[in-house]
Amino acid sequence: MFDSTCKFLVETFADDFATWLLGEPISLTQLSPSELSVEPIRADALILLQSDEVVLHIEFQTQPDPDLPFRMADYRLRVYRRFPQKTMRQVVIYLKETGSDLVRETFFTLERTRHEFEVIRLWEEPTERLLSSPGLLPLAVLSQTGVRSNVLQQVAQTIEQISPRRVQSNVAAATAILAGLVLEPEVIRRVLRRELMQESTIYREIWQEAKTEGKAEGIAEGKAEGIAEGKAEERQEVALNLLREGIAIETISRVTGLSLEQVQQLHQASATNLEN
């Protein structure tokens, strides 16, 4: 879910991300992993954009991944094989704060080979950098701030000024989804207008794609295949988001692979955090 949202933002607001990550508003177009000859590794997490002179490779991570340095080196070589004349910038953007040392790794080494890439830990990124462009607004609530609900309120006020409405609704929905990593659903619903989010492309793709006959349980069922093999942390995050959408505990247990007891514990913990 978070991969899809971030990928949607980059592809929709490529100029905003180019300005943030490259320092200038270079016009970028999408580069398909299939153009690199070899089968892609984790294509769902891979975002490639290119201009005549540069290739920008972005990967968003919610959890540390020990295989990531190799993946960055591998794609650098693939791009060089296909576009030897182009420079390449590779950026890993970690969304959720963690104490793992893996989020500080910026290179891959193998005997005499060393490849370096950039890392952005959003919780250390100044909020102001993310408030100036529509495509970056959904990331602001994950940035360096003491009171995230205040940042969400500031983002919501900025979203209200966005035109056209289609762009406004997409940014609002993406903001709500990513804010779910750090804020309780009641806080998000209180700040962001649900009817606006429901008009967005990303909202429909993620929350209503599998809806059948108007039943909310269809959302959970539609994610069953992708979730089943997911990591424990990712399953818990998905379960929490489905709980926030009012999906039945039995349904969440069935499609995430978590036991009824695990889902109930998540539900109770979420309720306790809200009360505190």
**Cα-flanking dihedrals φ and ψ of residue 113, to 5°?**
-100, 135
Q: Where are the beta strands (DSSP E) in the chain?
A: 29-30, 46-50, 54-61, 87-94, 107-110, 113-116, 118-121
275, part of any domain: no
Domain-embedded: residue 98: yes
Structural contact between residues 59 and 3, judged by C-beta atoms closer than 8 angstroms: no
Q: How many of the other CB atoms lie within 10 Å of CB of 86?
A: 14
The strand pair at 118-121 and 113-116 is best described as unpaired
Task: Tell me if 200 sits within 8 A of 162, measured CB to CB.
Answer: no
Residues 6+ apart with CB under 8 A from 7: 44, 47, 60
Rounded Cα distance between 140 and 154, Å, is 9
Instruction: Count the Cβ atoms, other than its own, within 10 Å of residue 87.
Output: 11
Tell which of 61, 89, 124 closes a domain: 124
Model confidence, pTM: 0.74
In this structure, the number of other CB atoms found within 10 A of the CB of residue 127 comes to 20
Number of domains the chain contains = 3
Cα gap 17→11, rounded to integer Å: 9
* pLDDT at position 219: 46
Which of 72, 98, 124 marks a domain boundary?
124
In a shared domain, residues 131 and 196: yes
pLDDT in tens, 200-209: 777 666 655 4
Sheet holding 118-121, edge to edge: 29-30, 46-50, 54-61, 87-94, 118-121
Cα–Cα distance, 141 to 183 (Å, whole number): 9
- Quick count: other Cβ atoms within 10 Å of Cβ 83? 18
Beta bridge partners of 94: 61, 121
26 and 59 belong to one structural domain:
yes
The greatest distance separating any two alpha carbons of the chain, rounded to the nearest whole angstrom, comes to 59
Residue scoring higher pLDDT (104 or 189)? 104
Supply the pLDDT for residue 223. Answer: 44
pLDDT score, position 185: 85
The pLDDT of residue 217: 47
The whole-number pLDDT of residue 88 equals 97
Residue 92 has pLDDT above 80, yes or no: yes
* 129 shares a domain with 85: no
What pLDDT, in 10s, does the model give residues 161-170? 998 999 999 9
Q: What are phi and psi of 183, to 5 degrees?
A: -130, 155
Residue 270 placed within a domain = no
* Residue 276 forms part of a structural domain: no
pLDDT of 229 higher than 60? no
**Residue 110 above 60 pLDDT?**
yes
The residue from 73, 93, 124 where one domain ends is: 124
247, 217 Cβ separation under 8 angstroms: yes
- Residues 149-186: tens digit of each pLDDT: 999 999 999 999 998 999 999 999 999 999 999 998 88
Chain-wide mean pLDDT for the chain? 83
Mean pLDDT score, 10-33: 91
> In 13-98, where does DSSP find H-type helix?
14-22, 68-82
State which residues form the domain around 257.
218-265
Both 63 and 38 in one domain: the answer is yes
Does residue 272 fall inside a structural domain?
no
CA distance 260 to 223: 18
For residues 107 and 130, membership in a common domain is answered with no
Query: Could you read off the pLDDT of 209-228 as tens digits, one per residue?
Result: 434 334 444 444 444 344 33
